[in-house]
Amino acid sequence: MVRVLFFGRVADAIGRGLDIELPEGVRTVGELRRWLGGQEGREMLLKPGVRASVDKEVAGEDAPVRDGAEVAFFSLFSGG
């Protein structure tokens, strides 16, 4: 089971989060992003500027995702 959380504009578009079983062949942040983003209503994940973290550390597309991980997707923030 993987906990997937959404923050910022991503959460506004998709919701706060969900728990999922990793599908066959999904083992990295990029694969998870593409799998989730290919589902209706979750296209926001595929937009430029959406970043990810794994277990509260910013992660690139090739970062591994394992069972028990917390993966977060968030839009870049601005402000002062």
Query: Considering the domain boundaries, does residue 69 fall inside one?
Result: yes
Query: Considering the domain boundaries, does residue 80 fall inside one?
Result: no
Q: How many CB atoms lie within 10 A of CB 4?
A: 21
In CATH, what number is assigned to the domain containing residue 7? 3.10.20.30
20-60 pLDDT per residue, tens: 999 999 999 999 999 999 999 999 999 999 999 999 999 99
Please check the confidence at residue 77 and state whether its pLDDT lies above 80.
Answer: no
Please check the confidence at residue 79 and state whether its pLDDT lies above 60.
Answer: no
CA-derived radius of gyration, the chain:
12
pLDDT at res. 32: 98
SS3 of residue 33 by DSSP: helix
Rounded to whole angstroms, the Cα distance separating 15 from 24 reads 24
Query: Considering the domain boundaries, does residue 46 fall inside one?
Result: yes
Q: How many domains does one find in the chain?
A: 1
What pLDDT band is residue 76 in, cutting at 50, 70 and 90? confident
Strand arrangement, sheet containing 50-54: 17-20, 2-7, 70-75, 50-54, 57-59
Q: How far is CA 32 from the centre of its chain?
A: 7
> Does the global pTM surpass 0.85?
yes
